[in-house]
Amino acid sequence: MKIVMLGAPGAGKGTQAKMIADKYQIPHISTGDIFRANISNGTELGKKAKTYMDQGLLVPDELVVDLVVDRVQQDDCKKGYILDGFPRTIPQAEALTEALKKLGEKVDFAINVEVPDENIVKRMSGRRACVSCGSTYHIVYNPTKVEGVCDKCGNELILREDDKPETVKKRLDVYHEQTQPLIEYYTNEGVLVEVDGTKDMKDVFSAIVDILGA
């Protein structure tokens, strides 16, 4: 079972990806993890990626695809895998399709966790972080015992820059521009499935299991 996870930042796709990986016993693969593994193992691809990262440059699509294709050919991927955060763009998606075709493989499901922007902005703006120990909370889903005070160390909680509505909206705009076309792409490939990400985490997961099969 080869799965691509799609969804806006803050839609909860990472959580769902982990739950899928656990249930179906397939690796949850993120590009960040692949980069780190290749760099720490000093592979040729890792060395190449590092030269870009050291200069503060984006790793080119071609190299990212090479790294992902290399990863999905490892032994633990025989039963399948779940890609989280890749592909991000149409050129990456096309390159992945081509590379998998050469291996006689294809993506089986592209799961889009659909959450309206307003909900994401609302969710993120409820997050609070401790200025001292870094603990994170949510005013609705994970509140502290005393409002605005860290349970662990008693210091002040703040709304981080990253979680402010303006910042979240900007990030969502970038997402829609760049990643939304992937939804069309995977629809045309006949593998797109959508789940309502506004529901409870467990309900979202059972909707996914209904699609993938128990």
> Given the rule CB under 5 A, which of 8-16, 73-81, 151-159, 193-201 is the region that contacts Zn ion?
151-159
Answer yes or no whether residue 142 interacts with Zn ion by CB under 5 A. no
Burial per residue of 124-162, b for 16 or more beta-carbon CB atoms within 10 angstroms, e otherwise: bbbbbbbeeeebebeeeeeebeeeeebeeeeeebeeeee
Q: Which residue of 36, 152, 170, 176 would you call a contact of Zn ion, by CB under 5 A?
A: 152
Give min distance, CB of 12 to Zn ion, in A.
24
State how far the Cα of 124 lies from the Cα of 122, in Å rounded to an integer.
6
Answer yes or no whether residue 135 interacts with Zn ion by CB under 5 A. yes
Residues 6+ apart with CB under 8 A from 70: 45
Distance of CA 117 to the CA centre of its chain: 16
Answer yes or no whether residue 131 interacts with Zn ion by CB under 5 A. no
Answer yes or no whether residue 133 interacts with Zn ion by CB under 5 A. yes
Q: Which residue of 130, 172, 182, 208 would you call a contact of Zn ion, by CB under 5 A?
A: 130
Residues 6+ apart with CB under 8 A from 101: none
Q: Which residue of 15, 51, 73, 132 would you call a contact of Zn ion, by CB under 5 A?
A: 132
Nearer to Zn ion, 110 or 150 (CB): 150
Catalytic residues, by residue number, are 13, 88, 127, 160, 171
H-type alpha helices, 83-200: 90-102, 117-125, 165-188
> Given the rule CB under 5 A, which of 8-16, 19-27, 125-133, 164-172 is the region that contacts Zn ion?
125-133
> Given the rule CB under 5 A, which of 29-37, 115-123, 124-132, 197-205 is the region that contacts Zn ion?
124-132
Peptide bond into 87 cis (omega under 30): yes
Q: Which residue of 65, 150, 168, 192 would you call a contact of Zn ion, by CB under 5 A?
A: 150
> Given the rule CB under 5 A, which of 91-99, 118-126, 153-161, 187-195 is the region that contacts Zn ion?
153-161
Cβ neighbour number for residue 28 with a 10 Å cutoff: 18
Look at residues 173, 142, 144, 175 and name the one whose alpha carbon lies nearest to residue 157.
144
Give min distance, CB of 159 to Zn ion, in A.
15
Answer yes or no whether residue 211 interacts with Zn ion by CB under 5 A. no
Look at residues 113, 112, 94, 102 and name the one whose alpha carbon lies nearest to residue 185.
94
Answer yes or no whether residue 153 interacts with Zn ion by CB under 5 A. yes
Task: State the residues that interact with Zn ion by CB under 5 A.
Answer: 130, 132-133, 135, 150, 152-153, 155
